[in-house]
Amino acid sequence: MNKKGFIFDLDGVIVDTAKYHYLAWKKLADQLGFELTHEHNERFKGVSRQRCLEILLDIGNIASTQEQFDSWMMEKNIDYLEYIDKMNESEVLSDVPKILEYLKEKNIPIALGSASKNARPILEKVKLLHFFNAIVDGNNVTKAKPDPQVFLIAAEELKVQPENCIVFEDAIAGIQAANNAGMISIGIGNTKILSNADYNFKDFTEIDLDFLDGLIKDRRTI
């Protein structure tokens, strides 16, 4: 049996920090004089802070100097950090600890693969950091999803071949990145939006341990 590795995105998969990103971006949009909707927010999932701001300014049809751009990025991050500073274990999404605990019991290596530059402090806040053998986040990568860089680095750090990695993602760009890396992709969230994933689940409450065993033991076929 080939050694398996499991890689998890952070926002919308392990914790619902997507709502805090939205509130911080919405505050900036309000300052700039236009409305940011939840539909707009779908475009922000799984991409870098810089790319998010580019999308935001495009939505508002707003031009900026580099100095303004950098200032707005910093301002958004300060607002976001104020939100996540209040986070605790209650922010962890349903059944995520059950899945992590089961993989840990089986000695399966686990990595985080996230665009967030705040991944480590968030995992510390929600008391899940100890589950992860590797943390690959926005501080470690130069290319944003759907480029597979973040997942390929995670696989390398876990010492697992990419084709033996299983990725959990809630964003279109993340599913594309996992597929581009040649990994098994599991969409968490809206099945229609994440239709390119190899498997889809509304959330982790729908994933049973037999399914995980199948992935670990190569019994599942796509």
Q: Of 9, 79, 203, 213, which residue is the catalytic one?
A: 9
Q: Is 198 a catalytic residue?
A: no
- Alpha carbon 116 to chain centroid, angstroms: 8
- What is the Cα–Cα distance from 112 to 135, expressed in whole angstroms? 5
Which residues, in sequence order, are CB contacts of 7 under 8 Å at separation 6+?
110, 111, 112, 113, 151, 154, 155, 158, 165, 166, 167, 168, 178, 183
Q: Is 11 a catalytic residue?
A: yes
Q: Strand, coil or helix: what is 70?
A: helix
Of 28, 49, 52, the C-alpha closest to 40 is 52
User: Which amino acid, residue 195?
Assistant: S
- What is the Cα–Cα distance from 35 to 56, expressed in whole angstroms? 10
DSSP for residue 35: -
Of 140, 142, 177, the C-alpha closest to 50 is 142
Of 75, 86, 106, 107, the C-alpha closest to 15 is 86
| Placement of tokens 């470690």 in the chain | 140
**Residues annotated catalytic, as ranges:** 9, 11
